[in-house]
Amino acid sequence: MTQTPPNVRVEPARRSLWERASVVWLVPLMALLIALGVAWQTWSDRGPLITITFDEAQGVHARETELRYRDVTVGVVEDVGFSSDLQSVAVDIRLNKDIAPFVDDDAAFWVVSPQVTAQGVSGLDTVLSGVFIEGVWDRVPEGLIPAHRGLTDPPLLRPGQQGRVLTLRSLPGASLTEGTPVLYKGIAVGRVGKTELAPGETAAQSQIVIFSPYDQQLTTATRFWDTSGFSFSIGAGGVELDFSSIASLIAGGVAFETLASGGVPVRDNALFDVFGSESLARESLFSDNSRPGVNLTVIFEDNVSGLSIGSPVELGGVQIGEVISVSGILDPLRFRDQRVRLMVNIEIRPGQLGMGDLSASTDVMDFLDARVAEGLRARLATTSILTGGLKIELVTTDESDSALLDFSGDPFPILPSTDSDIADAAATAQGVLNRVNNLPVEELLQSAIRFLDGAAALTNDPELTAVPGEVRALLGDVRGVVGSEAVQALPAQLSALMLELQGATTDLRAVAADLQAAQAVDRLLAAVDATSAAATAVTDSVTGVPELIASLNTVAQSAADLPLTALVDQATSVVSAADGLLRAPGTQALPDQLGAALQDLQGVLADLRGVTTDLNDTQAVERLLAAVDAASVAATAVTDSVTGVPELIASLNGVAQSAADLPLTALVEQATGVVDAAEQLLRNSGTQELPGQLASALDEVRQVLADLRAGGTVDSLNATLGSARDAAAAIETAAQSLPDISARLNRVLSQATETLEGFEAGSELNRSARGALSEIERAARAVESLAKALERRPNSIILGR
Amino acid sequence: MITARDAGLVGCRRCARAWPAETPVCPTCGSALQSRDMGAMQRVWAWWVAGVMCFFPANLYPMLETRTLFVSQSDTIVGGAIELMHHGAYGIALVIFVASIVIPLGKFIAIAYLALRVRGDKPPAGHGAHKLYHLVEYIGRWSMIDVFVVAILASLVHLGSVASVQPGPASLAFALSVIFTMLSAQSFDSRLIWDRTDVQKGQAA
């Protein structure tokens, strides 16, 4: 037996549950927590379930088909089932939680599936990925609406898109195709929605959308027309093929244009018509034929032909409707006879009455009723004289039979009628022709023939034939008178007269030449030359004898005492006197007397001539010259006495003494006297009278001229004027020699200046001599200025100014 | 047959040497000596629960997300197997079904059976229980074949947007489930099976 320890019952100490728990339990615990956490998060993130019912749910699968908003998945289809009545498919969609509040009342859902149309391919991505449900809603969260009705087609204007939805109604000739573009100036700016038959009408209508900003173009003046297909026309302008776009060629399209300004903006869902062509649309703008008119019946007493369906109904010249039916009416009960009357049904369009689009037909009736009470009546009138067509005119007459619109008329209210205004063109034309026919043409022709016969007889009368011969004889007589010698001699006489005038003018010219020949100027020049020689001699004598200042002083003293100033003054006064003479009233009067430049010139010339002659006669110049000569001799004597004998101072002293004793004063006084005499001469009455005498002489000349003018010829007068011009030229020549005089005087003065400069500066003699010379210079300047004045204005001698 | 415990010995589970019962630490390899691991059952159950918990998402979530040019497809394990079967690939469908569904489930059942059997009063299967235990332990690693295939596919098929394969959330759950199951099986102290056998014997004796 082996010794084994007693079989002890091992009882492990009872430990607490916490102590016995294994750490490993943490693992499933954590897994559980994670699982719970994931589950809770999944549940809490789960969005709400919405149910959308569709008519059909082609391609929609549970847990696959997505709900997209702006092409972003915002939900998944969880279940596809049916509504309780199996009318529609109910699609349960699990929405994303954050998008749910936006899915409110305005949410719209539709199934997007691939579509291939003439406008293009859409929903291409759904070909591979399967269809999806597109949803749109606005951006305002207004709380989740769990049940929605799905759309069969996408909405025309999705929330968030700007545009305007309109309703179009197709007129005959126009078609509306779903999905076709709406074109504006060739741009697709919208599309046509689902097309359906308008309720209660025979036209198709559809909703269209026009996207912003093109919806701004829409006004009540907007017109739509069908651009589908193409138009092909052959006309005078050639073959024309027109279609707007390939898409519209295949599938059609609707174009619109706002054809006139002034329309008011349209509201949403406004109703427009689609016209068959653009031209129809344009026409419609001015004649709204689309709206039903107001029908009336007019019964005319006359039963005339010419009125037909479509004939216009006019009010004040404006067509407001047309005839829709013409028939006869026989109503014995109403008219109490058996006549068949003309019953016309007319349609009046309110639009052309200008009553606006919104006026109801009752408004039109009220309007017409009021007008009928005022006297509005219907009458038949002629449309065209040539065709004889008739129209119905609504005119206001003076009839006051108080007729009213007869609303009891069947089928339409009856508009009262009045007398017709039918111009029977055929009758009128026939009347005109009858008048023409009745004209007395035959008698008229007879009278004409008789008249022509009488005229022929008159023409053939011998007396009348002789008249031209007599006229010719008369003309011959006249020619004889004209050719007579007396008449022929007239020009020669005139010519002689002119020659005489010319001779007179030549005389005048000779006078001027005489004036030139007087040589007064030359003599004056000689005198000046002599003075110059004397001055030279003085210069010679004083050079080299400065020591004889004392005696020369004396001479200078006496020279200074010479009244040269007075002489010059007197000379100046002489000139002044001459000037005064020229300014004398008699002289001044000459131009007036002559009345013309010629007379003035001649008068002055004669005057001058007389003066010159006087001067010559009185020999004043000669005396002056003699005086100057004497001075010159004296100067020469001084020269002689001083030249060559510088050494003989004593003698020279004596000479100087004698020179001092020279009666220069007397000389000057003598010269003064001469000048005075000249002045006296000028001032004497004889001289003064000269102008008067000349004036009288000129009067005679004028008389001559007047005579000449009386019978003279123009040529002679011209020659006279030429002579006068020559005389003026001669005077000018004479005047031109005056500068020479002044030049020589200048020279003399220069020499005198030299002479005086030879003297000692500061000496009394020098000053005196210089003063004297200044005086002479001033005198010379006066003469020079006179000469210049004459040179500048030679006519001043003539004019005295 | 006598157990070490019956012989007053304790066997080292690492180096398999037997020591007297009171020896606390194996003098040879230094690991702690314990005749019976009384906390083992807790660990077994803990891992087992974790494994079962992971098994649900592993089958509910998609295992593989396949994206080609337009189509994105995600399949669960069972869904994939069924689809393969629809395409006529019955063999592959069977392999996947067995490897991914049958074996993991069998392991759960086997471990649970063993754990209950050890604890309960029912007579053990004797040697059969041991064989079952070894089978579970052996086969456990092969359960990762699914995850392995997914990992290879995800790394191989990577053609950008044209085609790509990505492991789904189920692959992670499946891998965890397999790992937890293996840990559960390992935590099982197979010596307890003997004890029950002893009890049976003793009762029988």
The verdict on A37 touching B (C-beta cutoff 8 Å) is no
CB contact under 8 Å between B39 and A35, yes or no, is no
Give rounded-to-5 percent helix, strand, coil for chain B. Answer: 60, 10, 30
Interface of B with A in 32-61 (CB under 8 A): 38-39, 42-43, 46-47, 49-50, 53-54, 57
Go through A773-789 and write b for each residue having 16 or more CB atoms within 10 A of its CB, e for each that does not: bbbbbebbbebbebbee
CB contact under 8 Å between A24 and B38, yes or no, is no
Contacting residues of B for A27, CB less than 8 Å apart = 46-47, 50, 180
Band the pLDDT of A390: cuts 50, 70, 90: confident
SS3 at position B108:
helix
- What are the mean pLDDT values of chain B's consecutive 10-residue runs (205 residues total)? 72 80 81 75 87 89 82 83 89 87 90 80 69 84 80 82 83 90 84 64 44
CB contact under 8 Å between A35 and B57, yes or no, is yes
Band the pLDDT of A92: cuts 50, 70, 90: very high
Instruction: Find, in chain A, the residue whose alpha carbon is nearest to that of B50.
Output: A28
Q: What is the pLDDT of residue A749?
A: 66
Instruction: Check whether A600 has a pLDDT greater than 50.
Output: no
In the predicted model, what is the mean pLDDT of residues A728-747? 68
Instruction: Considering only the beta carbons, identify the residue of B39, B47, B57 that sits closest to A27.
Output: B47
The verdict on A437 touching B (C-beta cutoff 8 Å) is no
The verdict on A12 touching B (C-beta cutoff 8 Å) is yes
Q: What is the pLDDT of residue A796?
A: 63
Give rounded-to-5 percent helix, strand, coil for chain A. Answer: 50, 20, 30
Band the pLDDT of A591: cuts 50, 70, 90: very low
Structure tokens at A53: 């019912």
Structure-model confidence comparison of residues A336 and A361, the more confident one:
A336
The Cα–Cα gap between A149 and A579 comes to: 133
The verdict on B126 touching A (C-beta cutoff 8 Å) is no
Above pLDDT 70, what percent of chain A? Answer: 58
Instruction: Check whether A559 has a pLDDT greater than 70.
Output: no
CB contact under 8 Å between A24 and B57, yes or no, is no
Band the pLDDT of A751: cuts 50, 70, 90: confident
Q: What is the pLDDT of residue A652?
A: 46
Instruction: Considering only the beta carbons, identify the residue of B8, B42, B54 that sits closest to A22.
Output: B42
Structure-model confidence comparison of residues A22 and B98, the more confident one:
B98
Helices A26-45 & B40-60 angle (0-180, nearest 10): 30
Q: What is the pLDDT of residue A522?
A: 63
Band the pLDDT of A93: cuts 50, 70, 90: very high
Instruction: Find, in chain B, the residue whose alpha carbon is nearest to that of A30.
Output: B50
SS3 at position A348:
strand
Structure tokens at B23: 């020896």
The alpha carbon of A282 is separated from its chain's Cα centroid by a whole number of angstroms, namely 38
Q: What is the pLDDT of residue B153?
A: 83
Instruction: Check whether A40 has a pLDDT greater than 90.
Output: yes
Residue A402 burial (C-beta neighbours within 10 Å; 0-12, 13-18, 19+): exposed
Q: What is the pLDDT of residue B137?
A: 83
Instruction: Considering only the beta carbons, identify the residue of B50, B57, B71 that sits closest to A27.
Output: B50
Q: What is the pLDDT of residue A530?
A: 63
AA identity, residue B50: A
Count of A-B CB contacts under 8 Å: 39
Structure-model confidence comparison of residues A422 and B45, the more confident one:
B45
For this complex, say whether ipTM is above 0.90: no
Measure Cα distances from A588 to A358, A580, A607, A612, A691 in Å: 104, 11, 12, 19, 10
Band the pLDDT of A521: cuts 50, 70, 90: low
Q: What is the pLDDT of residue A612?
A: 54
Contacts 24+ apart (CB under 8 A), A728-734: A728/A601, A728/A794, A730/A509, A730/A512, A730/A513, A730/A515, A730/A516, A731/A512, A731/A515, A731/A605, A731/A608, A731/A794, A731/A797, A731/A798, A732/A794, A733/A516, A734/A515, A734/A516, A734/A521
Q: What is the pLDDT of residue A492?
A: 78
Contacting residues of A for B42, CB less than 8 Å apart = 20-22, 24-25
Structure-model confidence comparison of residues A438 and A789, the more confident one:
A438
Rounded to a whole number, what is the distance in Å from the CA of A108 to chain B's nearest CA?
A: 27
The verdict on A5 touching B (C-beta cutoff 8 Å) is yes
Instruction: Check whether A535 has a pLDDT greater than 80.
Output: no
Above pLDDT 90, what percent of chain A? Answer: 3
Q: Are A277 and A225 spatial neighbours (Cβ–Cβ below 8 Å)? A: yes
Q: What is the pLDDT of residue A287?
A: 58
Instruction: Find, in chain A, the residue whose alpha carbon is nearest to that of B38.
Output: A20
Measure Cα distances from A550 to A113, A361, A642 in Å: 153, 148, 15
Q: What is the pLDDT of residue B203?
A: 46
The pTM score is 0.41
H helices present in A245-287, as ranges: 246-251, 278-286
The verdict on A28 touching B (C-beta cutoff 8 Å) is yes
Instruction: Considering only the beta carbons, identify the residue of B38, B54, B180 that sits closest to A12.
Output: B38
Structure-model confidence comparison of residues A669 and B169, the more confident one:
B169
User: What is the overall mean pLDDT for chain A?
Assistant: 72
Among the ranges given (A93-102, A149-158, A377-386), the one the predictor scored with the smallest mean pLDDT: A377-386
The verdict on A41 touching B (C-beta cutoff 8 Å) is no
The alpha carbon of B78 is separated from its chain's Cα centroid by a whole number of angstroms, namely 20
CB contact under 8 Å between B39 and A20, yes or no, is yes
Q: What is the pLDDT of residue B189?
A: 77
Q: What is the pLDDT of residue B109?
A: 92
Instruction: Check whether A603 has a pLDDT greater than 70.
Output: no
Structure-model confidence comparison of residues A48 and A402, the more confident one:
A48
H helices present in A518-596, as ranges: 520-542, 549-561, 564-583, 585-594
Instruction: Find, in chain B, the residue whose alpha carbon is nearest to that of A19.
Output: B39
* Total residues found in chain A within this entry: 801
Q: What is the pLDDT of residue B202?
A: 47
In the predicted model, what is the mean pLDDT of residues A228-232? 70
Torsion angles phi and psi, residue A772, rounded to 5: -60, -45
Rounded to a whole number, what is the distance in Å from the CA of A118 to chain B's nearest CA?
A: 27
In the predicted model, what is the mean pLDDT of residues A466-472? 78
Contacting residues of A for B50, CB less than 8 Å apart = 27-28, 31
Q: What is the pLDDT of residue A404?
A: 74
Contacting residues of B for A24, CB less than 8 Å apart = 42-43, 46-47, 183, 187
Q: Are B32 and B165 spatial neighbours (Cβ–Cβ below 8 Å)? A: no
Q: Token match 């304790």: residue?
A: B10
Band the pLDDT of A244: cuts 50, 70, 90: low
